[in-house]
Amino acid sequence: ESESLHRKISLTSESIWQVIFSRDFFTILKTFVLDVILQRRLLQESVKRWAIHSLIYLSILFRFSLAVFTFFAYEISPDSTLTMALINKNNGFIAFVNDLTGIFIILGILWALVQRVIVKPPHVISEIRDNLALAIIGLLVILGFVLEGARILMTGIPAHVSLYAFIGYPVAQLLSLFGDNWTHVYPYLWYAHAGLGALLVAYLPFGKMRHIFNTPLTLVLNYKVK
C-alpha cells in the first residue's frame, strides 16, 4: 500500500494483531527482548558500539517504562504507598535512579561524540541530524539536573533526603552561590525543559532515532511475511 495512509495503518495493525495472537508469539517475544531491548545483533557486531548505544537507549527506555508503570499505578490506586513513592521526586529510590540514568545518558553521549569527532572509525558517519539528536538529549538531561537542583534549593529539602539525588544535590549547592530565591526562575527552567522534551519527540521521525519504532515493527512484520 503506497497511496492511502489510513489503509497502510490498517494493514499494519492487522498484521501485528495476527502475529501477536499466533503460535509464534513466544518466539517473537524472545526476539523482541534479545534483539530490540538487549540489542543482541549490535553486541555481536561491536561491544563498544553496543555499550555506547546501551548507555543512552536503555537509560531512556528504563525511565520511560518507569513513567508508564507510575501512570498505571496512579490510575489503579492513586493513594497507595507504592504510588505515593513513585510520584515523589524526593523518594530516595526515584531520585537515585533519575540521576543515575541521567549520568549514563551523558556518558553515552560524550563517548559517542569522542567516536564521531576524534576517533572517527570507518563505520561512523557523523551527520548533522544525528549530532543534533545527541545535542537535544544532552541538553535535556543537563537542564533536568539544573531543574532538580533548583527545586531542591527552592523547597529547602534537608540534606539527608536530597543526598540520594547525587547529582541534583551538588548542583543545588552550586546554585546556592547565586542566591536562594529560585522561585521566580524555576517556572522558566521547567518550561525550557518541557520544550526540549517536546522538540525531541517532534524530531524523532526525521533522524536515525526513528529506528526506535521501525525496528520492532519490522521484526514483527517480517514474521508475518514468513
Long-range contacts from 10-16, C-beta under 8 angstroms, 24+ separation: 12/217, 12/221, 15/220, 15/221, 15/224, 16/217, 16/220, 16/221, 16/224
Q: How far is CA 96 from CA 19, 87, 138, 167, 169, in A?
A: 39, 14, 19, 9, 11
pLDDT in tens, 57-107: 899 999 999 999 999 999 999 999 999 999 998 899 999 999 999 999 999
Query: Is it the case that residue 23 has pLDDT exceeding 80?
Result: no
**Whose grid coordinates read 533519575?**
98
**Whose grid coordinates read 517473537?**
28
| pLDDT score at 124 | 61
Query: Is it the case that residue 224 has pLDDT exceeding 80?
Result: no
pLDDT in tens, 154-192: 888 888 888 999 999 999 999 998 887 788 889 999 999
